[in-house]
Chains A and B, each alone.
Chain A
Amino acid sequence: MARATDKVPDWLLERLSAGELAHAQATELRQRLRAQGEEYRLSALSASDAEILSALPPGRIVPEIERRVTLSADCARPARPHRLRPLLAMSAVAACAAGLAVMLVVRNPGTGTKTPTDEVPPEIIGVKGEVKPVLRIYRKTASGSELLRAHAAVHRGDTLQIRYLAAGKRFGVIASIDARGQITFHLPEAPGLAVALDRDGERALPHAYELDDSPGFERFLFVTSDAAFATAEVVQALKSGAALPASLTSFELPLKKETP
């Protein structure tokens, strides 16, 4: 039996704050807090809630939770009884994550050393709860996928899944350029107009990509705006490094291509 002088455990304090305890127990705990001059601990929880949600807003946390749910569902799914074509087999997880996936072979180099970037949160996140559009690239691994940081080493044959977080922006373009100056459009998949983005949560592009053997780097650019714009503006920025118009927001993710 707890005595009036026993400190109220944090576990029970949380349950009390959540309003989940029976009336008698809640009353008893409140009396103990009062007797010990610790009623402030309840209000401190509210302050802690606000602080945590500011530092780790839902816009940052929820997409990662959803991604892990998708991956765990993929892991739980039994293997197909027959083999897919090699490229399709490699893209299976990313494909399921996208809901509908088609494998495209793009370009790029190297072989298989892995970059130790497992489950690392994205580097570019708005401060104090402000969420900005973010591009995330995951590499397929034997056990699932890994999030690639900027300048992560990639290799020929790596299968990449591109995902974006629009953070409320209405239109966007995702494209990349390699060291040879060759531009690849990922969203849309051909030059034209920016596409309407899914504005809530992290979204996967419908295709995964296998890197080819072009050397040096692959620089990805995610350009967004609240108004429609043309992919030509992105091409200009990619090729010349020119500044984008002020109405456009960009997120850049360069990857380093390593050869064997």
Chain B
Amino acid sequence: MAVDIESFYRSHGPMVLRRCRRLLRDEAKAVDAMHDVFVEILRRKDSLDASSPAGLLLTTATHVCLNRLRSERRKPEDRDDEMLFHIAAMENPTNAESRTLAGRILDRLFSGQPESTRLIAVLHYVDRLTLEEVASEVGLSVSGIRKRLRTLKERLPAVTGEA
């Protein structure tokens, strides 16, 4: 995937910043995270699929923000925020997020394997996508999404309210 970073930023930077703002709720941190999203894209540009750059960037931004939230010490502002903190703190049952920062962000995405459970959880519980919409976004079946979320519900009953 050829990346002209300036035009890429012009066309998608604002979208990435909005995503980071939504998840981090802090302007300075969101701007900082936005930089890192593009860094990840540039570092992996040779292995990227350019067919849906917005989806790629939104996914990358979500992972970058989750990793930052993992080390945050602030108090959650509301239920969505609390959910994000719980998801961010999770170890991914499918093991994708247990390596280095770069590795845990995008290895799974770029290798064409199923998306991580953390992203699925954010899309469903925080962004309020339906199971069908999540399935469409991450390329899994609805039953596959249900299965992933079932694991999550066992870990987060108080937050999901669905033990």
Contact = CB atoms under 8 A, between A and B. Distances in A.
A69 B39 contact: yes
Given A65-B42, A68-B36, A10 B6 contact: no
Interface in B109-163: 123, 127-130, 132-133, 136-137
A65 B5 contact: yes
A6 B130 CA distance: 9
A186 to B, nearest CB: 26
A72 B10 CA distance: 23
A58 B129 contact: no
A65 B9 contact: yes
Contact of A12 (B5, B17, B129): B129
Contacts, number: 93
Interface string A3-23: 000110111101101101000
B13 A48 contact: no
B22 interface: yes
B130 A58 contact: no
Contact of A14 (B5, B18, B38): B18
Contact of A119 (B9, B12, B17, B32): B32
B76 interface: no
Interface residues of B, number: 36
Contact of B17 (A7, A56, A76): A56
Nearest to B54: A18
Interface in B16-59: 17-19, 22, 31-32, 34-36, 38-39, 42-43, 52-55, 58
B100 to A, nearest CB: 9
B103 to A, nearest CB: 11
Contact of B128 (A7, A45, A52, A66): A7
A15 B55 contact: yes
14 contacts: A2-B133, A6-B130, A10-B127, A12-B129, A18-B15, A18-B53, A52-B17, A58-B6, A58-B10, A61-B35, A65-B5, A65-B35, A66-B5, A69-B42
